[in-house]
A and B are shown apart, each in its own frame.
Chain A
């Protein structure tokens, strides 16, 4: 559950992830979404290997056909999910292919 306080804590960590390049290990295209993500379907998610950690992240700004195992991807800051109209908007990291 994203409360203002939990979003606040998360936002503080985001600057560490700017400009991070990682490798895409594996991905899937989701057609049936959880609540708050229906507006995005279908969308791509995968696991990205960064220098010191592996993270589960959404993959944006590309089509599934462009993805290759081990391709370089770079972090971007985007909106997470779909905030209700009276809620605080959550921002977070996603990745896109690094051109």
Chain B
């Protein structure tokens, strides 16, 4: 069965608290912690971008799994912050990982679900035996308009999943996807920062697609929320995934290990994938994991994942668990963010 043979996650070590962001703009410390449930977010350094983040996560997946990179025959990088509009991030990542030349590479964009879309697309190559391994990465150095409310949550991280048919540590039992043309959050190609539709991003966008994909997944797999040990939903803030989980019939306890948003914010394409990595870091053989991502524009990818006994060996070898990276942090003030904005936009 096709499944995950190894994975890695990378969370940059700088953190900024909402109060520091508010301070930069001369605003009162906002109720972000109360209303959005985010206490601090991860900030990438001035010399990091979606490509370097992807390399870190993928390198960890390769190293922990003892995978020969030249045997990876497909790679996708899903991101909203690809460094180039034209020139794939995936080939730069592949080159630097030492993947050689015999692989399919494609960059994906679908707001926060570009990473998980890659998992579904690449799994076909493996289950068709076209290649031994494929590598799907979700990576973002998320952009938001300075002083916009999104600035309190938009963060940076990456997660990489290597899929294969043998020695899987977790099987992808089934997956499905639910899509529609919904303009809840977007960025035109000449614009520096994204725009969003305010409350339109809720019910017709996030919730409609998360419910749509999740309900279809449960029906297709003939399972109920109670059949699962853990669940991960895309986390734009702490409120939305908790509400979606509740409405679908999942419990708060099922969400806990993957619930990274209060500590790292929303790293867009890496959000649910880092949540999955965090869950796999502590999962036991036979555990069943439900995951549903969400990408604005809009769509949701849902997965039923079952952990195998091989997970133990991976957990032993993993030097960089999500929990460890969440703890390894250094607080900064707004100056690094200002520097990053000036650097990125050549102001």
Binding site for B on A (CB under 8 A): 11-12, 14-16, 18-19, 39-40, 60-61, 76-80, 82, 84-85, 88-89, 91, 94, 99
Q: Is the CB of B96 within 8 A of A39?
A: no
B31 interfacial contact with A, CB 8 Å:
no
What is the CA–CA distance of A16 and B87 in the complex, to the nearest angstrom? 23
Q: Is the CB of B46 within 8 A of A15?
A: no
- Name the B residues within 8 Å of A40 (CB-CB): 46-47
User: Closest Cβ of chain B: how far from A95's Cβ, in Å?
Assistant: 12
What is the CA–CA distance of A15 and B59 in the complex, to the nearest angstrom? 10
Of A78, A80, A84, most B-chain CB atoms within 10 Å: A78
Which 4 A-B pairs give the minimum distances between C-beta atoms?
A15-B98, A78-B47, A79-B47, A14-B96
Residue of A nearest to B49 (CB): A79
Whether A19 touches B46, Cβ cut-off 8 Å, given contacts A76-B56, A91-B96, is: no
Whether A11 touches B47, Cβ cut-off 8 Å, given contacts A39-B343, A77-B55, is: no
- Name the B residues within 8 Å of A77 (CB-CB): 52, 55-56, 96
Q: Is the CB of A60 within 8 A of B97?
A: no
**16 intermolecular pairs with C-beta atoms under 8 Å apart:** A11-B95, A11-B96, A12-B95, A19-B59, A39-B46, A39-B343, A61-B45, A76-B52, A76-B56, A77-B56, A79-B48, A79-B49, A79-B52, A89-B51, A89-B83, A89-B84
- Name the A residues within 8 Å of B346 (CB-CB): 84-85
- Name the B residues within 8 Å of A79 (CB-CB): 47-49, 52
Binding site for A on B (CB under 8 A): 13, 45-49, 51-52, 55-56, 59, 63, 69, 83-84, 87, 92, 95-98, 328, 339, 342-343, 346
Q: Is the CB of B46 within 8 A of A18?
A: no
Of B47, B52, B95, most A-chain CB atoms within 10 Å: B47
- Name the A residues within 8 Å of B343 (CB-CB): 39, 82
What is the CA–CA distance of A68 and B171 in the complex, to the nearest angstrom? 45
- Name the B residues within 8 Å of A60 (CB-CB): 45, 47
Q: Is the CB of B51 within 8 A of A15?
A: no
User: Closest Cβ of chain A: how far from B6's Cβ, in Å?
Assistant: 15
Whether A15 touches B96, Cβ cut-off 8 Å, given contacts A61-B13, A76-B56, A82-B343, is: yes
What is the CA–CA distance of A77 and B96 in the complex, to the nearest angstrom? 9
Whether A91 touches B51, Cβ cut-off 8 Å, given contacts A15-B98, A82-B343, is: yes
- Name the B residues within 8 Å of A89 (CB-CB): 49, 51, 83-84
- Name the B residues within 8 Å of A39 (CB-CB): 46, 339, 342-343
Contact of B98 among A18, A76, A78 (CB under 8 A): A18
What is the CA–CA distance of A24 and B87 in the complex, to the nearest angstrom? 36
- Name the A residues within 8 Å of B84 (CB-CB): 89
Q: Is the CB of B45 within 8 A of A15?
A: no
- Name the A residues within 8 Å of B83 (CB-CB): 89
What is the CA–CA distance of A19 and B302 in the complex, to the nearest angstrom? 34
Q: Is the CB of A18 within 8 A of B49?
A: no
- Name the B residues within 8 Å of A61 (CB-CB): 13, 45
Question: 13 other contacts beyond A18-B96, A18-B97, with CB at 8 A cut-off?
Answer: A12-B95, A18-B59, A39-B46, A39-B339, A60-B45, A60-B47, A61-B45, A76-B56, A78-B47, A78-B48, A84-B346, A85-B346, A89-B51
Contact of A94 among B47, B51, B56 (CB under 8 A): B47
What is the CA–CA distance of A12 and B94 in the complex, to the nearest angstrom? 10
User: Closest Cβ of chain A: how far from B225's Cβ, in Å?
Assistant: 38
- Name the B residues within 8 Å of A94 (CB-CB): 47
